[in-house]
Structure 1
Amino acid sequence: MKTQHKTTLGLLAGAACLLSAQAFAAPISSFDFTVGGGFVGGSATCNDASDCVTYANTDPLSGDFLNITWGTPFSSGGQTSGLEIEHDPFGLGAISVGAGPQVIGSFSHANFVLLLDGGWMDYVQLSGIFNLFDPDSNPIVSIPQLNNLAFYETLNTPPCDDPFPGGNATNCDDVFTTEILAGAFDFTIGDYIYTFSFGFEAGPGLTGFTIDTWDFGFGDGPVDVVRIWTRENGVSTIYTTASITARSVPEPGTLALFGLSLVGMGAYARRRKQS
């Protein structure tokens, strides 16, 4: 009789392990995405209330502009500063699961000392569109965004009134403040829950950035923002990143079978004690 119990228990445990292996197949290794966005034409304002911004290069996905410049042109004895958004020319890419933050785009500031009569941008709107797809090209999520971006052009006369926290208070870096991208979200495919999240990463020339709250003054109150300090007379870049992690979720049937195997083990232990 003991042999029969042992055999039954072995078959039950073996079936549980087999079903477990089938239920927890390897997670998806990567997901495709498209990304687009840019500076919204006509949304910029300038320090002198005039239209000082020049737009250029249209993003194919959003229809907005990838470049804006301001200041006094070289032909007039000055120089210009500007912003550039970069991602794959067709907005295509892939994110590997479990590989940590991966760059999906960049935001660069060409920062130069401007003539006072040239004017500079102090506000512009940023559009964004991010689409995530499964390996069969089925859409998982579409995230459209319209964010505010404020800009502070220093006059390069120390002491500076808004230095990077803990940094050099005499470098008079310029400062951007923009709303944080949509946060993390979960989605389930098969036996795995995947967590997607956006982030930021400092690139070449960047003095630093902080996550903070800010009131743009449009009646919305304080919102979550990233504040970015960029050095004078050079190009500074901040990267937009995305990451995906996976964790397994046992199916109800698998849990029930494991529970049944535990019951069988308990019954066998009791019978063995009694014998």
Structure 2
Amino acid sequence: MKSKKTLLAAVGGLALLTGSAQAALIASFDFDTASGWLADGSAQTRNSANNSIINCAAGALPGTNGCGLTFSGAQEVTDGYNTVDWFSNGGVGPSGLDIVSLSGTLITGGAWVDTGIITHRNFILPSPATTLHTLDLMSEFSITSPLLLGPASDTFDISFVETPNQGGCPPPNPLGSSCDDAFTIDGLPEAIVFEIDGITYTIEFRLFGGDGFIVADNTLYTREDEENTLFVQARVTARQVPEPATLGILGLGLLLLNRRKLMK
């Protein structure tokens, strides 16, 4: 994965909230997100007939990108779409990925909150087929209240393995379907850390497997012949930063202790 993070903080908003020596803890933060599968020429597909990799050109439609992917839906980020489809078996519909960007509220010290929902439409494909191989996902996260912070932007490389559904299934197969498929994401969104009035706030992110998904470190297993759900989640924690006077007293104590040892 290549993770490119850009944090455009609203410094003015932070400055307005600073200055009090004993500021109250901010109890909650409202957030907004935007996401999209990128049709910018970074994706690849795989032809199972000869196991060849096809590099996609920029473009949302197969006639433009030349690799068999179809991008559609809303565009919340540059070159990004809510939906990407690949080979259809002519039955229930094409396999593909959908992403829904959510807005909500993080409670300081509270539970994990959904910030996005990814659905993998994982249908059994005939062989040979052209399937997804790699894809970039762009995600943006912003704090909208009680201050403006962001957007923090990440772009992630996602690798996909379309497993064979004939002639046996290579392990592991943790969901026990005919042959679980797997995604690989090398890492998670970086934590967002900021300080207001002597309190350090940390916003962390994680992936949480819903129906049909198992998250095992950076590998995501997804059940064959089902629509499977993966949640992107965030939470915020807070930590009081020691006052400078406290740090000074602590440093003086350590200095005197060291001097006492030397005198002995």
Counterpart residue type for residue 138 of structure 1: L
CA contact (8 A) 1:163 1:169 kept: no
- The yes-or-no answer on 1:204 pairing with 2:211 is yes
SS at match of 1:86: strand
What TM-score does the superposition give when structure 2 sets the normalisation length? 0.71
**Inter-CA distance 146–156: structure 2 relative to 1 (3 Å threshold):** same
CA contact (8 A) 1:103 1:241 kept: yes
Runs of 4+ in 1 over 6 A off after TM superposition: none
CA contact (8 A) 1:78 1:114 kept: no
Counterpart residue type for residue 205 of structure 1: G
Q: CA deviation at 1:113?
A: 0.6
Q: What is the match of residue 47 of structure 1?
A: 46
| Identity among equivalent pairs (%) | 29
- The yes-or-no answer on 1:237 pairing with 2:244 is no
1:43-66: CA deviation from partner (whole Å, max 9, x where unpaired): 332212362211111233445111
**Inter-CA distance 154–101: structure 2 relative to 1 (3 Å threshold):** same
Q: What is the match of residue 68 of structure 1?
A: 84
Alignment of 1:62-211 (within 5 A): 62-72=78-88, 74=90, 79-88=93-102, 92-135=103-146, 137-139=147-149, 141-157=150-166, 159-164=168-173, 167=174, 171-206=178-213, 208-211=214-217
Distance in 1 of aligned mates of 2:25 and 2:179: 48
1:84-120: CA deviation from partner (whole Å, max 9, x where unpaired): 11123xxx33211111221100111011111224421
**Inter-CA distance 24–80: structure 2 relative to 1 (3 Å threshold):** same
- Count residues in correspondence: 213
Aligned match of 1:227 in 205, 219, 231?
Answer: 219
CA contact (8 A) 1:24 1:248 kept: no
Q: CA deviation at 1:241?
A: 0.8
**Inter-CA distance 162–142: structure 2 relative to 1 (3 Å threshold):** farther
What TM-score does the superposition give when structure 1 sets the normalisation length? 0.68
**Inter-CA distance 94–118: structure 2 relative to 1 (3 Å threshold):** same
1:199-223: CA deviation from partner (whole Å, max 9, x where unpaired): 11111122x1211xxxxxxxxxxxx
Q: CA deviation at 1:230?
A: 0.6
1:2-22: CA deviation from partner (whole Å, max 9, x where unpaired): xxxxxxxxxxxxxxxxxxxx9
CA contact (8 A) 1:35 1:61 kept: no
SS at match of 2:164: coil
Distance in 2 of aligned mates of 1:58 and 1:187: 31
Unpaired runs of 5+ in structure 2? 1-19, 48-53, 55-65, 251-264
Q: CA deviation at 1:78?
A: 7.6
Distance in 1 of aligned mates of 2:176 and 2:68: 29
CA contact (8 A) 1:102 1:241 kept: yes
CA contact (8 A) 1:160 1:169 kept: no
SS at match of 1:58: coil
Distance in 1 of aligned mates of 2:243 and 2:144: 24
**Inter-CA distance 168–107: structure 2 relative to 1 (3 Å threshold):** closer
Counterpart residue type for residue 209 of structure 1: V
Q: What is the match of residue 28 of structure 1?
A: 26
Q: What is the match of residue 11 of structure 2?
A: none
CA contact (8 A) 1:40 1:126 kept: yes
Q: Between Structure 1 and Structure 2, whose CA radius of gyration is higher?
A: 1
Q: CA deviation at 1:227?
A: 1.0
Unpaired runs of 5+ in structure 1? 1-21, 212-225, 260-275
